[in-house]
Chain A
Amino acid sequence: MSSQPSDAAAGTQAEISAEMAEIDKTHTSTGHARPQPVLNYPPYRSSILRHPTKDLHHADPEEIERWAPCFGPQDVGALEADLTVQHPGEPIGERIEVTGRIRDGAGRPVAGQLVEIWQANAAGRYIHQRDQHPAPIDPNFTGVGRCLSDAEGRYRFTTIRPGPYPWKNHRNAWRPAHIHFSLFGTDFTQRLITQMYFPGDPLLALDPIYRSITDARDRELLVARYDHEVTRPQWSTGYRWDIVLTGPHRTRFEEDDA
């Protein structure tokens, strides 16, 4: 398949890193702000045929787009926020807490909204048919979690620190350890799917998905920080990762009116 080059045909990490450095240089010298990530980012080979070539068309949100879908307690079980209790045994790996606040661009908490996560296990393996990485599956770990944010916009998950895993973008390509996050805001236009990374990971600099956010100030927003206040004695280490959604388009006044 042209959009998924085979390992043998692919470039080396050095070639990919050189391409990424070249793009950074161009973006710095031209200076103007771009949407982040850059959708047309050839070092991520699968993006080549899957990015729009025309400029996005500006639209003022219509009424339906100024509201987000609603989720409630009937949608999410209380245990879904703990990815370590979904099986009879304990999963293998470093138990962690991941927590933070979800706010909109005006700093308002996004309360009672759905947060979904998914991730590889401690060995870097997903429970997914298409994951062929020969690392062990953990029978006690699925790697899927959900919760609703609280009134202050806080979310919290207990999980296992995921491992890095190889992929076929180029020869010897490895994804830095990450947790996939799916978020909704208070309007439709705030919809976000992203990835949370871990501080100090040497694979970040080599990763074309992370580096497709060409502005360092922006991509660093995806890196959680270790927070000893989140760490639980005799139980788990803690990471804090806050999320800021775009917008909002709807004002507090309209909210009260509704």
Chain B
Amino acid sequence: MRRSTPGQTVGPFYHYALPYPGDHTLVPPGSANAIRFHGTVIDGAGDPVPDALLEIWQPAPDGSVVRRAGSLHRDGFTFTGWGRASTDTTGHFSFSTLRPGGPDAFFAVTVFARGLLDRLFTRAYLPSPEPAPFLKGVDAERRGTLIAVAEPQGFRFDIRLQGDGETVFLNFGTDER
């Protein structure tokens, strides 16, 4: 394997570059079957992180992997399975999307922020009476950080970068040197 190019922080000045109209609306809010996927990003002092950027990548409601372009110029009809949202001044992010389908479904989540030197990966599993096999391998007291909370309009998923209730972040075996 070649030595991979290291990451660097997204920095403070991405707001005029990475966000774009429609970035966090994978489907128009209020459309049939639209759900909200939202939460707050919190730092090690318990303060909201107002300059974080999140991306989600998810299967379609039937569990299939979407192989369709058009995330940057959404036509209002094509579900691409991918979206991007910036946190607001209260550290809150929000997506309008569809429920991910298939067994043990989750939203794959990438977190970027000023102060965070490299991206972090995590998963937001849909709540289920029987936890996904992967979750059974995570410490019981930390497992909950990987499970979204059901709400009438969708799911809530808070992300704690550090400290009490620190979110479980993932290493796919690609970060070793």
Give A contacts to B, CB under 8 Å.
1-3, 33-39, 41, 44, 46-65, 67-76, 103, 105-107, 114, 116-118, 120, 126-131, 142-144, 146, 180, 182, 188-195, 209-210, 212-213, 215, 217-219, 221-222, 243-247, 249, 258
Contacts and interface: CB of A to CB of B under 8 A. Distances in A.
A113 to B, nearest CB: 11
Contacts of B80: 69-70
Given A64-B59, A71-B72, A74-B73, A37 B8 contact: yes
Contacts of B168: 54, 57
Given A33-B177, A74-B70, A131-B13, A47 B5 contact: no
Interface of B: 1-18, 43-45, 47, 49, 55, 57-59, 65-73, 80-82, 100, 102, 104, 106, 108, 110, 112-121, 123, 134, 138, 142, 161-163, 166-177
Contacts, number: 246
Contacts of A180: 8, 10-11, 13-14, 17
Q: Is the contact region of chain B dominated by helix, strand, or loop, or is it mixed?
A: loop
A209 B9 contact: yes
B67 A219 contact: no
B71 A47 contact: no
Contacts of A209: 8-9, 117
19 contacts: A3-B47, A37-B7, A49-B44, A51-B162, A52-B161, A54-B142, A60-B172, A62-B106, A64-B59, A75-B70, A180-B11, A180-B14, A188-B110, A193-B7, A213-B8, A218-B3, A218-B6, A221-B6, A244-B2
Given A73-B69, A128-B13, 16 more contacts: A33-B176, A35-B177, A50-B44, A52-B166, A53-B44, A70-B69, A106-B2, A107-B2, A128-B16, A180-B11, A182-B18, A218-B3, A221-B5, A244-B5, A245-B5, A246-B172
Given A39-B116, A75-B73, A50 B7 contact: no
Q: Is the contact region of chain A dominated by helix, strand, or loop, or is it mixed?
A: loop
A34 B177 contact: yes
A46 B70 contact: no
A22 to B, nearest CB: 18
A195 B110 CA distance: 18
B115 A56 contact: no
Contacts of B9: 44, 46-47, 193, 209
Contacts of A50: 43-44, 49, 113-116, 161-162
B6 A222 contact: yes
A26 to B, nearest CB: 16
A192 B5 contact: yes
A118 B16 contact: yes
A187 to B, nearest CB: 9
A245 B4 contact: yes
Contacts of A54: 142, 166, 168-169
User: Interface centre among B5, B45, B106, by most A CB within 10 Å?
Assistant: B5
A49 B119 contact: no
